[in-house]
Amino acid sequence: MSKKKMKLSMPSLKDARSRKFESTEVISYHLDGKFSHVGENKTYYVFTYGCQGNEADSEVISGILEGVGYKRSVDPYKADLVILNTCAIRENAENRIWGVLGNLKGVKRDNPELRIGICGCMPQEENATEKLLTSYPFVDLIFGTHNIQSLPRLLFEMYQKQSKVIEVLSTQGNILEDAPKHRESKHKAWVNIMFGCDEFCTYCIVPYTRGKERSRDKDEIIKEVEDLVAKGYKEVTLLGQNVNSYGNDKHDGYTFGDLLYDLDKTGIERIRYTTSHPKDLDEKTIQAMHDCKHVMPQLHLPVQSGDNEVLKKMNRKYTVEEYLAKVKRLKEMVPGISLTTDIIVGFPNETEEQFKHTLDLVNAVEFEGAYTFIYSPREGTPAARMEDSVPFEEKKERLERLNERVDYFYRKGNERFVGETVKVLVDSVSKNNPDNLCGYSEHLKLVHFPSHNLALIGTIVEVKITEAKTWFQMGELVSE
């Protein structure tokens, strides 16, 4: 017998407005003794797709799995349980996942004991879940973004009943505190400060898959960062879909800027945050970036388009002029700041002239990196119902022109450091050259430098930049 809870049907904008007033429950992780051995003598592997929020969720999923006895498998295709933590933001993100599922079908044919689970944003979409049920019958477990804490029970039911288990809650979401985590890095950590999104940009599916905006308690966040400092972590990245609206749902006047000031005092070496919404990036936050020694001189500030009419149709709630005014202020207050962005080309009916406005904006800001996308219609979102006269070939051609510009400034952003000494938090041995180590500078530039000293991994070292490439910098170690 299969189990199916309410699925999330796409809320209307009216629902969305009223959901802001629903209360948020903070739940503690509780492991029922009945399920605490469900993974004993078994191995697992989690595939993660999409944003940093999903990466952070996968650390919780791994932590919960290890808490009930599973061990991580080195080879994903030899694991007893494979979980795909999915992304629904664009069609090609979903297509990748359908492809991996196709491969797993073959693996399961050879090993019928393999169990396959799907979670993350795709199960929150009704049509994706229907497709999973009809075309991928070998999937054993489907759970949504609000069900992670129930994983031990769901696995128990899956093994006991020897049948498919589906649980996708339509709740707008709670806040799960205290869940175990298997952090992937020993020196850099994700720290969720909030969940969900209330923005409803017209192209975006996230407010539907991730629920309403809900902020974690500031004391919990500060405690988490203090614990990380005590464990030797050097860097935190604060996560949320729109971190600049942190605290708005709590109505106590404590804002994201206040949080930056408080976290700066915890002793953590480096603080980064993502993602920002230009509309909500306020003066206090910019002031905090100026004042706080540990807040890094780098900001990802998605602009999406350089044309006011398109921005309006996207429901972004700012104009190009307002965006540029914030950029000007950031450059004044944080000299040398490295700015990156997200841009969508080919939004329904985008004209050549409107696209050129985006190129103008890229030239004006000189973004030192950008994630660029062709607009992908997402069923249930307002933009998907807009008629679109722009042929796909034209959208592809616009993307190429945009990328050419973006790459130019990416390289320029690397070149400006040649001859300078920068501080690098060392991550690992370089993938393409075992004679090099690599890590990121304060401005979030990838730096490679010759060294075999593995003890440097997880430490901050000084590196003199000797050469700039488009995607990274080369340097020489100055001090150890």
Under 8 Å CB-to-CB from 452, ≥6 apart: which residues? 435
> Least CB distance from residue 311 to ligand SF4, whole Å?
12
Residues 206, 221, 238, 310: which binds ligand SF4 (CB under 6 A)? 206
> Least CB distance from residue 450 to ligand SF4, whole Å?
40
SS3 for 171-238 is CCCCEEECCCCCCCCCCEEEEECEECCCCCCCCCCHHHHCCCCEECCHHHHHHHHHHHHHCCCCEEEE
Contact region with ligand SF4 (CB under 6 A), list: 78-86, 150-158, 192-200, 369-377:
192-200
Question: DSSP characters for 87-122?
Answer: --SSHHHHHHHHHHHHHHHHHHHH-TT-EEEEEESG
Residue of 468, 430, 469, 473 whose CA lies nearest to 452: 430
User: Which of ligand 5AD, ligand SF4, none is residue 241 near (CB under 5 to 8 Å by kind)?
Assistant: ligand SF4
DSSP H/E element including 23: none
Q: How far apart are CA 450 and CA 435, in angstroms?
A: 6
Q: How far apart are CA 247 and CA 254, in angstroms?
A: 6
Residue whose C-beta lies closest to ligand 5AD: 342
Which residues does residue 177 pair with via DSSP β-bridges, in sequence order? 28
By CB under 6 A, is residue 88 in contact with ligand SF4? Answer: no
Give the count of beta carbons closer than 10 Å to the beta carbon of residue 95: 10
Restricting to residues 244-273, name those near ligand SF4 by CB under 6 A: none
**Contact status, residue 345 vs residue 373, Cβ threshold 8 Å:** yes
Contact region with ligand SF4 (CB under 6 A), list: 197-205, 292-300, 351-359, 446-454:
197-205
Restricting to residues 212-241, name those near ligand SF4 by CB under 6 A: 241
Q: Nearer to ligand SF4 by C-beta: 204 or 303?
A: 204
Residue of 39, 35, 44 whose CA lies nearest to 80: 44
Q: Nearer to ligand SF4 by C-beta: 241 or 266?
A: 241
Q: How far apart are CA 248 and CA 246, in angstroms?
A: 6
> Least CB distance from residue 383 to ligand 5AD, whole Å?
7
Q: Nearer to ligand SF4 by C-beta: 270 or 277?
A: 277
> Least CB distance from residue 87 to ligand SF4, whole Å?
12
**DSSP 3-state helix, strand, coil percentages of the chain (rounded to 5)?**
35, 20, 40
> Least CB distance from residue 207 to ligand SF4, whole Å?
5
Q: How far apart are CA 72 and CA 79, in angstroms?
A: 8
User: Which of ligand 5AD, ligand SF4, none is residue 199 near (CB under 5 to 8 Å by kind)?
Assistant: ligand SF4
Q: How far apart are CA 125 and CA 229, in angstroms?
A: 38
Sort 8 into a burial class: Cβ within 10 Å, 0-12 / 13-18 / 19+: buried
Q: Nearer to ligand 5AD by C-beta: 304 or 430?
A: 304
By CB under 6 A, is residue 90 in contact with ligand SF4? Answer: no
Residues 164, 218, 277, 405: which binds ligand SF4 (CB under 6 A)? 277
> Least CB distance from residue 315 to ligand 5AD, whole Å?
12
User: Which of ligand 5AD, ligand SF4, none is residue 295 near (CB under 5 to 8 Å by kind)?
Assistant: none
Q: How far apart are CA 89 and CA 91, in angstroms?
A: 7
> Least CB distance from residue 124 to ligand 5AD, whole Å?
15
User: Which of ligand 5AD, ligand SF4, none is residue 376 near (CB under 5 to 8 Å by kind)?
Assistant: ligand 5AD
**Contact status, residue 240 vs residue 249, Cβ threshold 8 Å:** no
Q: Nearer to ligand 5AD by C-beta: 340 or 451?
A: 340
Q: Helix, strand, or coil here: 390?
A: coil
Q: Nearer to ligand SF4 by C-beta: 197 or 456?
A: 197
> Least CB distance from residue 315 to ligand SF4, whole Å?
8
Residue 70: what residue type? Y
Q: Nearer to ligand 5AD by C-beta: 174 or 376?
A: 376
Contact region with ligand SF4 (CB under 6 A), list: 91-99, 183-191, 199-207, 291-299:
199-207
Residues 57, 157, 199, 442: which binds ligand SF4 (CB under 6 A)? 199
Q: What is the DSSP letter of 342?
A: E
> Least CB distance from residue 176 to ligand 5AD, whole Å?
23
List residues binding ligand SF4 (CB under 6 A).
197, 199-201, 204, 206-207, 241-242, 277
